[in-house]
């Protein structure tokens, strides 16, 4: 890609990416930390009136915010990392795609595929019987993430900025998938049932709620990965292990979300 064109497109798509992301993630937090607790206080008649009016409007911006965040993110990945030889700027620790010691190889391309195909492993895992044990499936999920990061660094030769943003892109792809193929289809049926004065399918309610919660947990480390794409400050700074900081941030991020869930349940209306 022409250098001038890249310099023109990058700020435009970053701007659009941030706008769409704020819309999407803002509504995600509203649904999980505000609306869910509020909805629990409504009686059947109130739900029948409020839900069919509120939720389709909110979910419209929610799902299209997700779509545009993902789409503009892919454009930015191409502009910043994939254009040309996939090694743009690969001359030092601040390299964009591959580490200064590495070159783009078959594994580099395979890890790009993993970034966007891991969503199907995630979906299979959380539809399996293993998902019934929250602690075990969380540990398995973390180990899979750590394994993918390790492969990006040591097999794909991804530089620090590259493996951060591609782990973020993996989370973002899972989140967008959840919105369009798990949450929105379930919510359409849930809203229709409430509008008709019927009890919604409990399995659909559980599915939509669980995948929305997953998105909330993934969003916090995702935001770190997006920020870390702009710096190498934490590259190898912890025990000289380049990927360890990101793994610790994932754990810390999940704990932060867990604590906010606990706090949100205690916030009351007047």
Is it the case that residue 96 has pLDDT exceeding 70? Answer: no
DSSP secondary structure of 189-224: HHHHHHHTT-PPPHHHHHHHHHHHHHHHHHHHHHHH
Half-sphere exposure for 91 (CA within 13 Å, toward CB): 2
Q: Answer yes or no: are the C-beta atoms of 149 and 246 closer than 8 Å.
A: yes
How much is the pLDDT for 229?
A: 78
pLDDT over 70, % of the chain? 93
Q: Which of the four pLDDT bands, split at 50, 70 and 90, describes residue 1?
A: low
Q: How far is CA 107 from CA 91, 114, 154, 198, in A?
A: 20, 10, 9, 52
Confidence of residue 101 (pLDDT cuts 50, 70, 90): low
Residue 187's nearest CA partner among 174, 206, 213 is 206
**Separation between Cα atoms, residue 235 and residue 245, nearest integer Å:** 8
Mean of pLDDT values over 220-227: 94
Name which residue leads in pLDDT, 203 or 4: 203
Beta carbons of 96 and 88 less than 8 angstroms apart: yes
Query: What HEC string does 14-31 produce?
Result: HHHHHHHHHHHHHHHHHH
Whether residue 43 is predicted with pLDDT greater than 50 in this model: the reply is yes
User: What's residue 84's pLDDT?
Assistant: 53
- Contacts of residue 149, defined as CB under 8 A and 6 or more positions apart, other chains included, come to 163, 167, 243, 246, 247
Which pLDDT score is estimated for 92?
41
Among candidate residues 225, 246, 227, the one with its CA nearest the CA of residue 236: 246
Residue 83: per-residue pLDDT: 80
- For residue 202, what pLDDT is reported? 97
Question: Predicted confidence band at 42 (pLDDT cuts at 50, 70, 90)?
Answer: very high
Q: Which of 21-25, 31-35, 73-77, 96-100 has the lowest mean pLDDT?
A: 96-100
To the nearest whole number, what is the mean pLDDT of the chain? 92
Q: How confident is the model over 239-270, as pLDDT tens digits?
A: 888 899 999 999 999 999 999 999 999 999 99
Residue 241: per-residue pLDDT: 87
What's this model's pTM, rounded to 2 decimal places? 0.93
Could you read off the pLDDT of 45-89 as tens digits, one per residue? 999 999 999 999 999 999 999 999 999 999 999 988 888 544 433
Tell me, what's the pLDDT at 94?
40
CA distance between the termini of the chain: 57
Confidence at residue 90, expressed as pLDDT on a 0 to 100 scale = 43
Across 71-186, the runs of DSSP E, i.e. the strands, are none
């Amino acid at each position: 890609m022409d250098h001038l064109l890249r310099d023109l497109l990058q700020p435009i798509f970053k701007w659009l990416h941030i706008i769409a992301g704020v819309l999407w993630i803002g509504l995600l937090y509203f649904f999980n930390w505000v609306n869910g607790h509020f909805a629990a206080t409504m009686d059947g008649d109130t739900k029948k009136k409020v839900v069919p009016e509120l939720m389709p409007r909110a979910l419209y911006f929610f799902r299209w915010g997700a779509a545009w965040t993902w789409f503009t993110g892919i454009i930015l990945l191409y502009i910043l990392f994939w254009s040309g030889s996939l090694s743009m700027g690969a001359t030092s620790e601040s390299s964009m795609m591959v580490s200064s010691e590495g070159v783009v190889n078959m594994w580099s391309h395979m890890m790009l595929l993993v970034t966007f195909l891991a969503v199907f492993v995630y979906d299979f895992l959380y539809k399996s019987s293993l998902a019934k044990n929250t602690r075990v499936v969380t540990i398995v999920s973390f180990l899979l993430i750590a394994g993918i990061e390790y492969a990006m660094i040591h097999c794909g030769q991804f530089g620090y900025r590259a493996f951060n943003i591609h782990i973020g892109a993996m989370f973002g792809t899972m989140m967008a998938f959840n919105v369009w193929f798990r949450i929105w289809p379930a919510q359409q049926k849930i809203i229709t049932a409430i509008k008709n004065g019927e009890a919604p399918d409990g399995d659909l309610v559980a599915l939509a709620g669980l995948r929305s919660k997953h998105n909330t947990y993934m969003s916090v480390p995702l935001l770190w990965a997006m920020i870390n794409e702009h710096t190498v400050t934490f590259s190898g700074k912890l025990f000289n292990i380049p990927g360890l900081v990101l793994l610790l941030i994932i754990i810390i991020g999940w704990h932060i979300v867990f604590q906010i869930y606990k706090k949100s349940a205690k916030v009351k209306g007047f």
